[in-house]
Structure 1
Amino acid sequence: MAFEEVAIERALTFIEPGPVVLVTTFDGVKNNVMTITWTMAMDFEQHIVITTGPWNYSFETLLHTRECAVCVPAADLLNTVVQIGMVSGTDTDKFKTFGLTALVSKYVKAPLIAECLACLECSVIDYIESYGFFVLQVRRVLVDQGRCERRLIHAVGDGCFVLDGETVSRRGQMMTKLPPGL
């Protein structure tokens, strides 16, 4: 088997991050939602990271309000997720345009999205400007247990996506390594 060198820009297509998510904010006047393809779990203390910057309309709201909801869409929302990422909240009411149902959160003012598989209410606990990392503390998790489509969407980084496939459990082998509650 022979390796072939490819463009360095392809590196990230092999090291894809967590699932594509829809991050909602509320600026005191209106709700907004943005597609984020760079997500990462940091630890077992419910800290996660999303990456964004001033090119996203919700960026300033995240900095100012220090809260959001991270909503996890399933594979059946792929086209909507891509379309949300192609327009700006500056001039588009994304909830109305894409037929999203905003639900009231318990701990943050940002709405939950009823069409998603799961929603995490989060507080911003740190912002690492040099990388555009928002470190979030998850405060509440809601899951639509009755939702049939449960496959997550993963961005490869080149306009292509991978949808989750078969789930294989090794819980029995790993029980001593799993934190309480999992």
Structure 2
Amino acid sequence: MHGTIFTLLKRYVQTQYDHSTWVRLLDAAGLSAADFNHKSVYPDEHMYALVGQAAQMTGIPTGELHEKFGEYLVPDLMYMYQKYLDPNWRTLDMLEHTEGRMHTQVRREHTENAPPVLEVKRLGENELLINYVSARRMGGLAVGIVRGLAAYYDEADRIDVMPTTSEDGERVQIHVRRT
């Protein structure tokens, strides 16, 4: 997994809790206290260990932690990928174009990265279905990102996000509707 995600996880833990919580989390996960480099790639197991330990420390289920972290990531993701965005897009448009615009570019520029494949089917003007495909089994993160996008586009009160399959599978289906 790309080091940027670990850097943002560190910031998330520090803003939601504090720096000492991050240090305890690293220790509990059996990882070094050294900072993650945002330009490097790290084993997915590091993320699993950190989130698993965070779940034990907080009592919050891992899926819920993935969702909260996904929501938190959105402003930074939007900043990082701003050159690929259309300023006229709203939540559903962004979701519809993420695979073709952002994920394809990430795979092309950074072959060691493997963002999930998002198969998005537009069901109508105000509805779409996302098939998240990833061996990482972090569908909760995708659900959180969808909710975060709705908040980013000031549509949180109008966007319904409904996972229709278990969020910890390699294939997760997410139904998104604007009301």
After TM superposition, is the score higher than 0.5? no
Q: Give the TM-score, by structure 2 length.
A: 0.30
Higher share in helix: 2
Which has the greater radius of gyration? 1
Question: Relative contact order (alpha carbons < 8 A, sep ≥ 6): 1 or 2 greater?
Answer: 1
Higher share in strand: 1
Q: Give the TM-score, by structure 1 length.
A: 0.30
